[in-house]
Amino acid sequence: MNIALLTPQPTNRVTFKRSHERFVPDTPGCYVLTTFSGEVLYVGLTDNLRRRMDQHLDNPEKTGETKLGRAVVFHWVATSDTFKVERTWMNIHIQHEGAWPLLNKMYSPTST
């Protein structure tokens, strides 16, 4: 599924590499890892976007090749309503693909 189908749209993005971490704020938000063409590989929420990007950069599963391609863009929206935004994005992905994003292993423990 392409990131263009997500609502609300992420408002920011950087290349998913260590040298671009400094451009990501250390605020709460929801984020998406995508391929170069915008295919959604992972959806998440965090209380610190910069720290979470750093953690994913240390994870070979998140930086490695997948059947859809490699994660090359880190998109995000800064929000305090992280549970609602993440739930919405996951539901949109499930609606279009019938499954969670490829790199999501578990659904966040949030209410519907």
Report pTM.
0.93
* Tens digit of each residue's pLDDT (9 = 90 or more) over 11-29: 999 999 999 999 999 999 9
Tokens of 51: 């720290």
**What class has domain 3-97?**
alpha beta
Residue 112 to residue 104: CA distance in whole angstroms: 18
Where are the chain's structural domains?
Answer: 3-97
Instruction: Please list, in sequence order, all residues whose beta carbon lies within 8 angstroms of the beta carbon of residue 64, skipping any fewer than 6 positions away.
Output: 70
The residue with tokens 């997500």 is 6
Tens of pLDDT, residues 66-82 = 999 999 999 999 999 99
* Other CB atoms within 10 Å distance of the CB of residue 41: 22
Is pLDDT of 110 > 80?
no
